[in-house]
A = this chain, B = another copy of it.
Amino acid sequence: MTTQTDEFLRLHPNPRTAAPEVLSQCLQRLAACAQACQACADACLAEEEVRDLVPCIRLNLDCADVCTAAERVLTRRTAADPGLQGRMLSVCADFCAACARECLSHGDRHEHCRLCSDTCLLCEDACRKALASL
């Protein structure tokens, strides 16, 4: 399947990329993870046992902010500094891993947390693969 993300990579004036499909997948998963974490934080706020979910909400909010920043830094290919991009991807992968772990720890009680955990793990994996391809 060719996505809009693939198309923008192809249409850039400097289209050369070591691994366009790896980059494209990472950009899509960062956007999906940012949205998932916002949605999970909001669903947790609506749960009766919100007090127990405070650490989850906090990590969700962090992970959403870091994924949004990483998506923007990785989208920019003009005058790119692979070292800096890699540093950002590495930190983002760490936040995704932490958020996935927290969400999974109560994923049996809240399906949105289980789904968020899956989304974070996919994003972590995509970040580490993109990092390796830089």
Contacts and interface: CB of A to CB of B under 8 A. Distances in A.
B62 A54 contact: no
Contact of A78 (B42, B78, B95): B42
Interface string A27-68: 100011011101110110111101100110111011011101
Nearest to A111: B11
Number of copies: 4
A49 to B, nearest CB: 9
Contact of A42 (B39, B46, B58): B58
Contacts of A72: 38, 61-62, 64-65
Given A54-B78, A54-B79, A65-B68, 20 more contacts: A4-B32, A4-B119, A5-B35, A8-B112, A8-B115, A11-B111, A12-B43, A35-B75, A42-B75, A42-B76, A43-B78, A45-B57, A46-B77, A48-B51, A50-B50, A55-B79, A58-B79, A61-B76, A62-B73, A65-B73
